[in-house]
Structure 1
Amino acid sequence: MCNACLIESVKSSMLSRRQIFAGAAASGAAAVAMAAMGAQPALAQARGKVLDLTHVLDEKFPTFDGAPGIAYEEAVNFDKNGYQLWKLTIFEHSGTHIDAPLHFSRDGASVAELKPESLICPLCVIDITAKARDDANATLDAADIEAWIRANGDIPAGACVAMNSGWGAKVGTPEFRNTPDGNFAFPGFAKSATDLLAGMNVAAIASDTLSLDPGNSADFAVHHSWLPGGRYGIENLANIEQLPATGATIFVGAPKHARGTGGPARVMAVI
């Protein structure tokens, strides 16, 4: 074979290889692009509504002991530095917040030790607004749970069971925390209810009031029995009246500080 012919043969072979590689690369790029395009419509077609269940925490939000739950101190001034920064002093159990097992046990799990999978839960909402209209210290009891199950089906293991007492409408008024004569008064869970839920392996309970226990509780029976069992609670949920009885999923953005007995949380639901 002449040198010229050999050179042409090599060039032809190289061109063929380039075309093969280019075709493979193009096919790979097309596959990636198709995958990306396939993902976008899936996101765009999502119909779930996101509902914020979190009250804004400021110095005026009611707390159990009456002291402001948060304080601000300017750490960096914008006019002087071109950016701004606050130093915050926060009581763990302020605003919409989580109660970790450590809150009512000497060596229970801290808020940082809660399993991530326990913070995303099917949400079951039990309405006791009728009871709460007649009794400021009304409780969600075992009979309410049994009635809910008859109407809606079983409560799944790992669920969060939330009480809707209608108390969120009172935020910003003295009645959210007290009777006119200054006594604690707000709805909560009865121990009969939480004992029943514990047997169903429920992960969490949540209230739209200042506490898991009712305002007139003298012994915090629910706190003492529910939290040391390795479960957690959420207090001061917002917008709970906008949730369906079943079908929503709750996402609990719990804080993750060491030794935390709880802390303000950003809580949301997808309906």
Structure 2
Amino acid sequence: MTELLDIYRTLKSKTWVDLTHQINEKSPNFPALPALEKKALFTHKDGFFVEQFTVVGQYGTHLDPPIHFVEGARYLDEIDLKDLLLPLYVIDKSAAVIENNDYEITKQDILDFEAEYGPIAPKSFVAFRSDLSKRWPSQDAIRNLDEDGVQRTPGWSHEALEYLIEERQVKAVGHETLDTDLGVSAAKHGGSLSEEYYLLSKDIYQLEVLANLD
């Protein structure tokens, strides 16, 4: 018990950062999915307050389990709880995204990060900081559509994901955007999210629409 209390006190003494957005009816979300709906079932006039929420799983800040794209793959409840407690590495390319909304994070970006901070440990969580979360809660600013309706947002390159999954053996990746893939790349392939399919097919989970990575 003493050891557990020591761990508890150590954790409580640290600064905690919430990487999620507030969830409500106006939260930016994938356009094909409905917005959150809520209604009060009971109010304090009834003696207690209860609200009902109707919301899809992939809404606001969320975790995508492999089943999201891959038939027969793991559901959320099949991910080991210990695999949800991971060391976090944040690769900051926010300055590059300011210059180029279509920035695609590369393997070289990760190698440069490792040259400065050391190798990414196996069974880790790696997040791509773009600062798109600072555009919240505007749906238009988050999606950043051009005149042709193409989403001009950053994303992961295949080589970057392949390096993290195959060589660094990470457990999860994350980003601030609505999608894994570069917006223009997805549009070029008819809306197909090939990089998201790739990582989920490797039994990796991802966290989307993250916040506060700075």
TM-score by length of 1: 0.70
Which has the larger strand fraction? Answer: 1
Q: Which letter does structure 2 place at the counterpart of 1:230?
A: D
How far apart are residue 134 of structure 1 and its match?
A: 2.0
Give the % identical residues: 25
Question: Paired residue for 1:75?
Answer: 41
- State the match for 2:164 in structure 1: 197
Change (3 A) 1:179 1:43: same
Tell me the residue number matched to 1:101.
66
Does 2:32 align with 1:59?
no
Cα shift at 1:130: 2.1
User: Is 1:236 paired with 2:200?
Assistant: no
Question: Deviation digits for residues 111-150 of structure 1, max 9, x if unmatched?
Answer: 1111111101100110111221122121111111111111
Contact 1:61 1:68 (C-alpha < 8 Å) held by counterparts: no
1:87 deviates by: 1.6
Distance 1:202 1:44, change over 3 A: closer
TM-score, with length taken from structure 2? 0.88
* Secondary structure class of the residue paired with 2:17: strand
How big is each residue's C-alpha offset from its partner over 1:100-120, in whole Å with a ceiling of 9 and x where there is no partner?
A: 100110100001111111101
Amino acid corresponding to residue 228 of structure 1 in structure 2: S
SS in 2 for 1:133: helix
Of structures 1 and 2, the larger Rg is shown by: 1
Per-residue deviation, residues 4-26 of structure 1 (Å, max 9, x unmatched): xxxxxxxxxxxxxxxxxxxxxxx
- 3-state SS of the aligned residue for 2:25? coil
Q: Is the 8 A contact 2:180 2:196 kept in 1?
A: yes
Give the distance between the partners of 1:167 and 1:124, measured in 2 at CA: 18
Superposed CA deviations along residues 166-205 of structure 1, whole A, max 9, x for unmatched, are 1111112322112353431211111111011111110000
Structure 1 residues 180, 45: closer, same or farther in 2, change over 3 A? Answer: closer
Unaligned runs of at least 5 residues, structure 2: none
Alpha-carbon distance, 1:215 to partner: 1.9
Match of 1:221 in 2: 194
Note if contact 2:33-2:56 (Cα within 8 Å) is conserved in structure 1.
no
Residue matched to 1:159: 124
- Number of corresponding residues: 206
What is the aligned-residue RMSD (CA, Å)?
2.3
Q: Identify the residue that residue 188 of structure 1 maps to in structure 2.
A: 155
Query: Cα deviations across residues 33-82 of structure 1 (Å, max 9, x unaligned)?
Result: xx69x947972795411011110011111111165431102222321x21
Of 38, 43, 56, 1:91 maps to 56
Unmatched tracts of structure 1, length 5 or more: 1-31, 242-271
Give yes or no for contact 2:37–2:54 (8 Å, CA) kept in 1: yes
For 1:44 and 1:133, locate their aligned partners in 2 and report how far apart those are by CA, in whole Å: 37
